Structures are given as C-alpha cells and as structure tokens.
Structure 1
Amino acid sequence: MTEQWKFEARGPIRVEGGIKARSKRGAIPQTWWSERFIEVLESFGMGGRLQRGKSYARAGQVLNLTLSTSVVVGLVQGSRPEPYRARIGIKAFSPQQWAHIERELAGQALYAAKLLAGEMPLDLERVFAELGLELFPSTMRELTMDCSCPDWEIPCKHLAATCYLLAESFDEDPFQILAWRGRNREELLDRLRALRGTQQVVPADTADDPLSGHLHDFWTSPPPAGTPEGPAASTPALDELEPLPLEVDGVPVTDLLRPAYRRFAG
C-alpha cells in the first residue's frame, strides 16, 4: 500500500508523443453523437469520476487508442513505468441485426444520402430504436470496463481519459461508433449502395488512378453505357432523395437545385 501511495502521490510520468485532446478547457466532445456518448456515461453515475480523466486526456497521457469490433483499448501512462491497459467493451450487433438496420437505412432516402455523404443523421438513434436496438448503451450492464491499474473504482482516471479520447475520435469519424457495434464504414456504405441499386463500378482504365484525381465524382454512379454524363452525375445527394413534388414555372425544383449542388461539389 505504501509503494502504491508513493506512485500516486508523485503523479503520472509525463510522456512525449501521446494523444492529446484538442479541447483545452470545458467540454471535450463537439458533436451530438460524441456528446451523447459522454451523456450516457454520466447518466450511469460516472460524471464525477469521468472528470478525473480530463487532465490525463489533455496532457497526452494516452499513448495509443485502438478500436475494433466490440472493444476499445487505450494504453495510458500513469505513475508507474509500465503503461496501464484500459479496455471498454460493448456488444456488437449480430449479422442478422445489421441486415435489418441496413435495409431500414437504405429504405429511407434521407438517411442513406447523409451516410453516403459521410454525415451522421441527427435522429439516427430512432432507426435503431424502432428495430428494438440501442445505438448507445442504455444501462451500465451493456458496457464492460477494466484497467490494469490498482485503482478499484470504475472508471479510474485511465479509463476516463480513454473515454474522452474515444468521444473525440467519434467527432472525427462518426462511423467509428458503428464500427464499434460491428459494421465498419466501407462495409456499411457498400451495403447501402447495393440495396439502393447504386453500387459503384470502377472502370478498368481508371482503377490505378489516385483518389485525389476523382474527388469530384467519388460518390457518383457511372452513367449507363453509351449515355453521356448529365447533371445527375455530379449531384448524387439529390438523386438519393425521393422526387420533390414541387415545380417553378413548370420546371421540377430538383432540376433547379442541381447547379447549386454542382458548385458545392466542385
């Protein structure tokens, strides 16, 4: 006990090159989905203990953070020479559950359009709830947390720092939330394209071209053979939506919006 107290009393060993939270004060999460994640943890009575991890997250004490299906692992430098291993686990959805989720998302044009554009729909949780699923855990029993440190409290400051940096990783890439639940970005988007009949085929003569040369048409389905490219080729978000029942001087409002969408895409 005396040795443990000495380690804790002198504070963590400072490290170089750790992962530092971008936020220097106040709240760390910046988007609705990362805020929701922290809110869920706080609702489990973790609020006070979570705060202890902010200084670790901002000081760069987390050396590494990895996310895979069901498990997030953070290596956190504490007061001992050997970094602590903090793990946060959640149950992944089954393949059958993901098949239901993907069909539901593909069947609603707005959700599909936003996800294919790399955005997280505001009410995405509702889609999961209607299928009897929870995107975020609703009880502490749905999460497992453990750390190799001697602190018996959950979460300890090493787990708390890992939680905050996990929330920031959700800010950077919301698809990480879905990957944690068992479906990575590429798999999900490929399934949505296939279900909506917009699977992209890469021509053989452009297969080796760098991605940077095709950013303007990355989300665009190729036109049918023998058909010149038209306005729809550069406005995939509009084409994912159901036709709008509005006209201006006899012209469909969707066609009037295409020039603006092409300018944004450019």
Structure 2
Amino acid sequence: MTPRPAPPPPGTAWADLLRALAPDPPPPAWRRGSALAASGAVTGLKVLPGEATAHIRDHHGPTTTSLLWPPARQQDWQRAAEALAAQPVFRDALLAGLLPVETARVCELLGWPALPRRFDDIACVCSCPAWQDPCPHAAALLLALADQVERDPFTVAAWRGCTREDLLERVGRAARTHHPAPQAPADDPAAFWAAPALPDTPPLPAAPAHSWAPPPAAAGQDLAAALAPLYTRLAGPPPDPDHPDHAPPAD
C-alpha cells in the first residue's frame, strides 16, 4: 500500500489559500505582479488589522500599495479561540506556537471567514497611475503577503485583527477555564501520616471442603474427608503458641 503523503506545513497551507485567490487564467497585470514579487521588488511589508501595505518598485519607479480587508470583530475571535481550545488537536498545536490551517474551517463554521473567499473581496489602493484592477502592484503585494504567511501563519490573524500573542492568550485562557489542570498532590511528607486508616478487611466465611465438586480420590482415600480438618483449622483463628497442643517437640 502506498503511504499517504504528509500534509504540508501550516504556513504552506495558509499561503496556498492566499495564492489561490489569483484569477484563473491570470490576466497580464497579474503575471507582471508575479514577476515583481519573484524579483524582490516588494519591500517594507507591514501587516496591520485590516491592512497590508508595502513599497513596490518597478521600471516606472516606487509605489505604495495596500490591500484592505475589514478585520474580524473581537467577539468573533473570542468564539474562535474557545472553539479551538475545545479541540485537543487544535489547542495543543496553538499552545505549541502553530496555527493549523483547519482554523480557517472553524472560522467558517462560526460564520466568518479567516481569509477572503475571492480577490474581489479585497480593496486595492495603489499610488500608481494604472487603471487595471488589480494593478500589477496589488498582485505583487498579495503574493508577497502569501510568502510572509508561509513563514509566519499568524500573519493571517494579524491581518484579521488578532495578534499572535492575543490569540494564544485567548486560547490558553479558554483552555484553563474549560479544561482545568488536575491538582498536584501535596508536597508535605507529613500529610502521608495524616491519611485516614484503611477499613478493616471483612472476614471470609469458612468454606467447608465438601462445598465444591468432589475431588478425585487420592491413594484410595476420600481426599475431601482427609483435608476437612485442615480446612477447619485454616478458617479458624490462628493457633495459640502457648497451648499444649502447639508446644515444640522435645529434643
């Protein structure tokens, strides 16, 4: 059986979702933007709640370009954090400093998208005189943003209005509230001696030797009858060592 390929790292999966916003087939302006991004023409990328901005230089000179998308409400992020904290796989990944791409699906189920569903959902602002929508600089900025997301998936959360620190704090608080850690035992050794006494062991009823199925004969004797005195002694109180019957044999 051929093993299933390992899933891509979270950053790659998030970046692929952003790159998938490219028109299909890509128009000429988008292809030029892709070449700009690949050449390193995008510099000074800053990601703020609802806005990603960078400087882009082409043969016409430098431009300033922004991608605007309204941030999510804080109550939406709180609901997402609580939902993620309720799932051990997602909670453990987040508390380990990872942002699983399944977070996007969780947000969708809660009624708000973690990423734009299409490029037209984003408002593009650029200082260039180009009339295309999107212009090559906006396309280059989106691809540069995807590269940044691949390196740090929490860039997505920052663009949507929740910093890495804030999201992890929300998830940690929700995890502590809904899944408190078990209390550790007391470190005081003296507490061992303060524990209550164990209950007395209930007495076992004396079971006569003949209460089970008859055993096989041994050397022609009735084995149950031969062992009955021994069973009686075993079921009774311990022998008194001072009793004459239990005195040690004489030398």
TM-score by length of 1: 0.59
Establish whether residue 105 from structure 1 lines up as the match of residue 84 from structure 2: yes
- Kindly provide the CA deviation profile for residues 76-102 of structure 1, in whole angstroms up to 9, marking residues without a partner as x: 112344x20111011111111111111
Establish whether residue 41 from structure 1 lines up as the match of residue 52 from structure 2: no
Aligned partner of 1:58 in structure 2 is 38
* Counterpart-to-counterpart distance in 2, 1:36 and 1:140: 11
Q: Contact conserved, 1:40 with 1:136, CA < 8 A, in 2? A: no
Aligned partner of 1:150 in structure 2 is 129
Displacement of 1:47 in angstroms is 5.6
* Counterpart-to-counterpart distance in 2, 1:69 and 1:158: 20
> Identity across aligned pairs (percent)?
28
* Counterpart-to-counterpart distance in 1, 2:139 and 2:176: 43
Q: Contact conserved, 1:91 with 1:181, CA < 8 A, in 2? A: yes
Q: Which amino acid aligns with 1:92?
A: P
TM-score by length of 2: 0.62
* Counterpart-to-counterpart distance in 1, 2:185 and 2:169: 22
Aligned partner of 1:114 in structure 2 is 93
Aligned partner of 1:133 in structure 2 is 112
Q: Which amino acid aligns with 2:67?
A: I
* Counterpart-to-counterpart distance in 2, 1:93 and 1:146: 20
Change (3 A) 1:68 1:59: same
- Kindly provide the CA deviation profile for residues 99-145 of structure 1, in whole angstroms up to 9, marking residues without a partner as x: 11111111111111111222232422220111111111124453111
Change (3 A) 1:129 1:146: same
Q: Which amino acid aligns with 2:68?
A: G
Bigger CA radius of gyration: 2
Matched residue pairs, number?
174
Secondary structure class of the residue paired with 2:81: helix
Q: Contact conserved, 1:57 with 1:164, CA < 8 A, in 2? A: yes
RMSD, aligned CA: 2.5
Establish whether residue 177 from structure 1 lines up as the match of residue 126 from structure 2: no
Q: Contact conserved, 1:175 with 1:184, CA < 8 A, in 2? A: yes
Gaps of 5+ in 1: 1-29, 199-220, 228-266
Aligned partner of 1:76 in structure 2 is 56
Change (3 A) 1:113 1:141: same
* Counterpart-to-counterpart distance in 2, 1:225 and 1:185: 34
Secondary structure class of the residue paired with 1:77: strand
Displacement of 1:55 in angstroms is 2.0
* Counterpart-to-counterpart distance in 2, 1:185 and 1:98: 12
Q: Contact conserved, 1:34 with 1:170, CA < 8 A, in 2? A: yes
Secondary structure class of the residue paired with 1:91: coil
- Kindly provide the CA deviation profile for residues 12-66 of structure 1, in whole angstroms up to 9, marking residues without a partner as x: xxxxxxxxxxxxxxxxxx71110111102336x7565322112212222223111
* Counterpart-to-counterpart distance in 2, 1:47 and 1:173: 29
Q: Contact conserved, 1:46 with 1:155, CA < 8 A, in 2? A: no
Secondary structure class of the residue paired with 1:52: helix
